[in-house]
Amino acid sequence: MLHNQKESNKALKLGIGTNKVGGHNLFEGLQDEDGFDIVREALDSKVQMIDTAYMYGLGRSEEIIGEVLKKYPRSSFKIATKAAQDPDNDLKINNTPTFLKKAVDDALARLQTDYIDIFYIHFPDENTPKDEAVAALNDLKKSGKIRAVGVSNFSLEQIKEANKNGQVDYVEDAYSLVHREAENKLWPYLQENHIGFVPYFPLASGLLTGKYSLADADKFDQFTKEQFETIISALKLVEKIAENHNASISQTILAWYIANPSISAVIPGARNASQVTNNVATLNIDLTETEYQQIDTAFENF
């Protein structure tokens, strides 16, 4: 499986996020054909982890992935998917064992596969005891339908409750160089309990690709003006490091996550196949220890 210690095989740590594969309910102007191309490009480039969810297109993302992956050896990549939004109850969040067991069966059918490598509870509901929800997934792990149990968007307290019996394998939560709260909030507990961490929004929804400038501050209103200026100047430093490797800013940022031993897998999203090609090239980069530290320091206030 994925590791939460330093991974010697970098390729095992690079995946793709697929909320723009079939995610018509989340983003405007998506074409299914781009979604098929994204998944094909990822598998042709030997990407080893595909992260999806029922919520991306209400099953459409999983269907597109399922159509493509039939043509590739199943053992050559891992699939992570998630559920919690109940299609039979206005997408209300549901973590009950009955719901989760059905959600896994439905996802397996859409993905046209007989196992899911990581199945995450996408969001916590209000009422289900978290250890009971996770125990239901653990039963499916024993039966072979899933290979690892994950939770996503859980607070530390909810993760602890879910992991009461040591049954949580992975946590997926928001994290990037400009959203580093998880480092103090979650990582100590996760590491102590050998739980892997998969960050979402690693490129801060495109901000960390370097394609935005100070003029775009209003597109990222979660940051103050000062924070946004710090990010843009930190990206200038990343650009210099990138030049040492004939690489782009986004490739260098992704290489930083891959080198970070606390991160199990990096799943940058993509709008089209060429972004996948671009992001996969990050595997050609080996940051020096000094470069790694320089990037760490440039974003230390986030």
Nearer to ligand NAP, 34 or 291 (CB): 34
Tokens at 40, concatenated: 């094909």
- Find the binder of ligand NAP among 49, 149, 270, 280 (CB under 6 A): 270
Q: How far apart are CA 271 and CA 107, in angstroms?
A: 23
Q: Is 183 exposed, middle or buried (0-12, 13-18, 19+ CB in 10 A)?
A: middle
10 Å CB burial of residue 293 (0-12, 13-18, 19+) is exposed
CA distance 183 to 106: 34
* Torsional class of 16: left (φ above 0), alpha (ψ -120 to 50), beta (otherwise): beta
Considering only 45, 81, 163, 209, the residue that binds ligand NAP (CB under 6 A) is: 209
- Given the complex with ligand NAP, which of 128 and 153 has the nearer CB atom? 153
Q: Does 252 participate in binding ligand NAP (rule CB under 6 A)?
A: no
* One character per residue 31-70, x = contact with ligand NAP (rule: CB under 6 A): --------------------x-------------------
Helix (H, G, I), strand (E, B) or coil at 120: strand
Indicate which single residue of 205, 244, 297, 301 sits in contact with ligand NAP (rule: CB under 6 A).
Answer: 205
Range 73-102, binding ligand NAP (CB under 6 A): none
Q: Please identify which residue in 85, 250, 252, 282 interacts with ligand NAP, judged by CB under 6 A.
A: 250
Q: Is 189 a catalytic residue?
A: no
Closest Cα to residue 149, out of 166, 167, 172? Answer: 167
With CB under 6 A as the contact rule, which of the stretches 38-46, 156-164, 200-208, 284-292 interacts with ligand NAP? 200-208
Question: What is the greatest pairwise CA distance in the chain?
Answer: 53
Query: According to CB under 6 A, which one of 153, 252, 264, 282 is a site residue for ligand NAP?
Result: 153
User: Does residue 284 interact with ligand NAP by CB under 6 A?
Assistant: no
| Angle value at C-alpha 171, between 109 and 136, nearest 5 degrees | 50
Query: In whole angstroms, what separates CA 158 from the centre of its chain?
Result: 19
How many residues bind ligand NAP (CB under 6 A)? The answer is: 27
Work out whether strand 78-83 and strand 49-51 pair parallel, antiparallel, or are unpaired.
parallel
DSSP 8-state symbol, 205: G
Least spacing, CB of residue 290 vs ligand NAP, in Å: 25
Q: Between residues 8 and 216, which has the closer beta carbon with respect to ligand NAP?
A: 216
End-to-end CA distance of the chain: give it in Å, rounded.
30
Q: State in angstroms the smallest separation of the CB of 289 from ligand NAP.
A: 25
* x/- track of binding to ligand NAP for residues 99-138 (CB under 6 A): -----------------------x----------------
| Burial per residue of 45-64, b for 16 or more beta-carbon CB atoms within 10 angstroms, e otherwise | bebbbbbbbbbbbbbbbbbb
**Closer Cβ to ligand NAP, 51 or 291, answer by number:** 51
Site residues (vs ligand NAP, CB under 6 A): 17-20, 51, 122, 152-153, 172, 200-206, 209, 211, 250, 267-271, 275, 278-279
Catalytic residues: 56
